[in-house]
Structure 1
Amino acid sequence: MDWITTPFEVGFVARAALAGLLVSAMCAVAGTWVVLRGMAFLGEAMSHGMLPGVAIAALLGGNLALGAMVSAGVVAAGVTGISRWRRLSQDTGIGLLFVGMLSLGVILVSRSQSFAVDLTGFLFGDVLSVRRSDLLILAAALLVTLVVGALGHRSFVALAFDHRKAATLGLRPRLAHAALLGLLALAMVASFQVVGTLLVFGLLIAPPAAVALWAGSVHMIMCGAAVLGAVATIGGLVISWHFDTAAGATIALATVTAFFLSAIATSLKRRPTAEVATVPSPRPAPELESTS
């Protein structure tokens, strides 16, 4: 037991754990809708699409979070605009913006010789350097996420399963889609300075996807994803402490590992049922057929 609790006796590790728990809860809400709507590629594009805004803000000495928010907003608006062209799918717009924004970010980063360390922190985060002010920002972002998620729950459900029905019911699917993109951007922007875009994307997709394999409702997916993300955060920090590995990357790997374990467990549980279902029912014995 001491092997697990000892790391959290240190102040910065305890703050890192609390930050991870807040991010896990926030990403569980936004990530559930991302998984149900099949928007994982959009999440990845938005996470890496924040790079130009962060780079410009760093080069100008401005606020990194503001730069990230503007950049994420550009990606969201671009995807929405391109998807209105009937001849182009949404994936096409996401792919173009993903490559374009990432390329622009790399070009901007290459203009500064001192940006290498900042870029590493942007991708992998520095969860062990979380400050009290960062925790307050994450707590406020989580509160906004919960409020928006609760107010838009009915619209999000209809949008996730039947876009046309959502419009028929007067649930304003375009507004719901915009709000969903806002939740996704908020999760990314509020978390990247603390845990990096790699960890944010891992917590955003892996826990909801793992729980969605066996959960029966949206609320179960959200709650299960929050718990799974919390377990991955604590486990990743413990492993990072004892084996001297990168904390953010270890937590991200723990979330992905949890998904594959859930997928394997689900397949093993369903296999016996499938085998029984495929076994043909035995034919009546010959003597019973002759006596009938």
Structure 2
Amino acid sequence: MEWLTGPFEVAFVQRALWSGILVSLICATTGTWVVLRGMTFLGDAMSHGMLPGVAIASLYGGNLLIGAALSAGVMACGVTVLGRARRLSQDTGIGLLFVGMLSLGVIIVSRSQSFAVDLTGFLFGDVLAVREQDLVNLTVALCAATLISVLGYRSFLALVFDERKAHTLGLRPRMAHAVLLGLVTLAIVTSFHVVGTLLVFGLLIAPPAAALPWARRVPVVMCGAALFGMGATFVGLLLSWHLRTAAGATIAAVAVLLFFLSASAAGLRRRRAEDAQPLPALDT
């Protein structure tokens, strides 16, 4: 029991655990729509695209959250503009912005005197350095994400499963898509401090994908994703403490591992169900 509970008696590990729980709830609410909508590559690109804003804010002593939000907003606008180009596929536009914004962020960070330290912190986060104010920001972000998801549930659901029907019903799918992009931006911006710009995508995608085979309703998927995310946070912090590994990277790795375990278990269950079905009777 001491091996399990000992690390969480330390104050900064407790804050790390609470921040991971809040991030898991935010990412479960948002990531479910990302997975169902098929916006995985876009979400990944946006998580990398906010690096220039974070780097500029850090270099000139500004607010990192504001810098990240502005940079992610530029990324979202760029994706929208390039997506309207007839001769350019959406994936191509996202890929170009992805590489361009990431390169620009690294170039900006390279101007600082502590290039390696700053870049490592931006890319991989520092969950053990979370402050009480960060917990307050995450709580506010969770409330906002939950409210947006509840108010836009019907529009998001129609957008995910039948965009044409959403337009027919007057649900304004373009507006719903824009709001969904804003929700993804909110989740990424408020969570990057915990696991970094590179690894926040693991908590955004892996838990909902792990919960998807076990649920048929969107709210149930969100609840399952929250449980997977919180489990990854607890196990990741525990392993990083005892193994002395990077906490944020360990959390993201555990989240991805849980996805593969869930997918394997779902596959076994499906095969057992198929084997249990009676064979059709032969005609005589």
Q: What is the CA-CA distance between 1:197 and the residue it aligns to?
A: 2.1
Residue 149 of structure 1 aligns to which amino acid in structure 2?
A: S
Report whether the alignment pairs 1:281 with 2:272: no
Q: Aligned equivalents of 2:115 and 2:74: distance in 1?
A: 23
- Alignment map for 1:8-87 (pairs within 5 Å): 8-87=8-87
Q: Aligned equivalents of 2:16 and 2:272: distance in 1?
A: 42
Q: Aligned equivalents of 1:214 and 1:269: distance in 2?
A: 10
Q: Aligned equivalents of 1:4 and 1:187: distance in 2?
A: 29
RMSD (Å), alpha carbons:
1.5
Name the residue aligned to 1:191: 191
Deviates further, 127-136 or 103-112: 103-112
Deviations 1:75-103 (A, max 9, x none): 11111111122333221211111011112
Name the residue aligned to 1:211: 211
Residue 242 of structure 1 aligns to which amino acid in structure 2?
A: H
Bigger radius of gyration: 1
Q: What is the CA-CA distance between 1:174 and the residue it aligns to?
A: 1.1
Q: What is the CA-CA distance between 1:238 and the residue it aligns to?
A: 0.9
Deviations 1:51-86 (A, max 9, x none): 111122222222221111111001111111111223
3-state secondary structure, aligned to 1:245: coil
Aligned-residue identity in percent: 67
Name the residue aligned to 2:240: 240
Q: What is the CA-CA distance between 1:136 and the residue it aligns to?
A: 0.4
Deviates further, 224-233 or 105-114: 105-114
Deviations 1:188-221 (A, max 9, x none): 1111123312342111000000111221110011
- Alignment map for 1:54-203 (pairs within 5 Å): 54-203=54-203
Q: What is the CA-CA distance between 1:283 and the residue it aligns to?
A: 2.8
TM-score, normalising length: structure 1: 0.93
Whether the aligned pair in 2 keeps the contact of 1:198 and 1:249 (CA below 8 Å) is: no
3-state secondary structure, aligned to 1:166: helix
Residue 20 of structure 1 aligns to which amino acid in structure 2?
A: G
Whether the aligned pair in 2 keeps the contact of 1:210 and 1:260 (CA below 8 Å) is: yes
Whether the aligned pair in 2 keeps the contact of 1:240 and 1:246 (CA below 8 Å) is: yes
Residue 280 of structure 2 aligns to which amino acid in structure 1?
A: S
Deviations 1:228-260 (A, max 9, x none): 100110111111111111111110000000000
Whether the aligned pair in 2 keeps the contact of 1:19 and 1:135 (CA below 8 Å) is: yes
Whether the aligned pair in 2 keeps the contact of 1:198 and 1:252 (CA below 8 Å) is: no
Residue 46 of structure 1 aligns to which amino acid in structure 2?
A: M
3-state secondary structure, aligned to 2:214: coil
Q: Aligned equivalents of 1:244 and 1:106: distance in 2?
A: 27
Q: What is the CA-CA distance between 1:280 and the residue it aligns to?
A: 5.9
Deviations 1:119-156 (A, max 9, x none): 11111111111111110010001111011111000000
Deviations 1:21-56 (A, max 9, x none): 000000001100000011111111011111111122
Q: Aligned equivalents of 1:82 and 1:268: distance in 2?
A: 42
Deviates further, 123-132 or 100-109: 100-109
Q: Aligned equivalents of 1:247 and 1:193: distance in 2?
A: 12
3-state secondary structure, aligned to 1:213: helix
Whether the aligned pair in 1 keeps the contact of 2:50 and 2:71 (CA below 8 Å) is: yes
Structure 2 alignment gaps of length 5 or more: none
Q: Aligned equivalents of 2:78 and 2:209: distance in 1?
A: 26
Q: Aligned equivalents of 1:42 and 1:116: distance in 2?
A: 27
Structure 1 alignment gaps of length 5 or more: none
Q: What is the CA-CA distance between 1:275 and the residue it aligns to?
A: 4.5
TM-score, normalising length: structure 2: 0.95
Q: Aligned equivalents of 2:220 and 2:240: distance in 1?
A: 29
Whether the aligned pair in 2 keeps the contact of 1:134 and 1:194 (CA below 8 Å) is: no
Whether the aligned pair in 1 keeps the contact of 2:195 and 2:252 (CA below 8 Å) is: no
Whether the aligned pair in 2 keeps the contact of 1:25 and 1:226 (CA below 8 Å) is: yes
Q: What is the CA-CA distance between 1:271 and the residue it aligns to?
A: 1.4
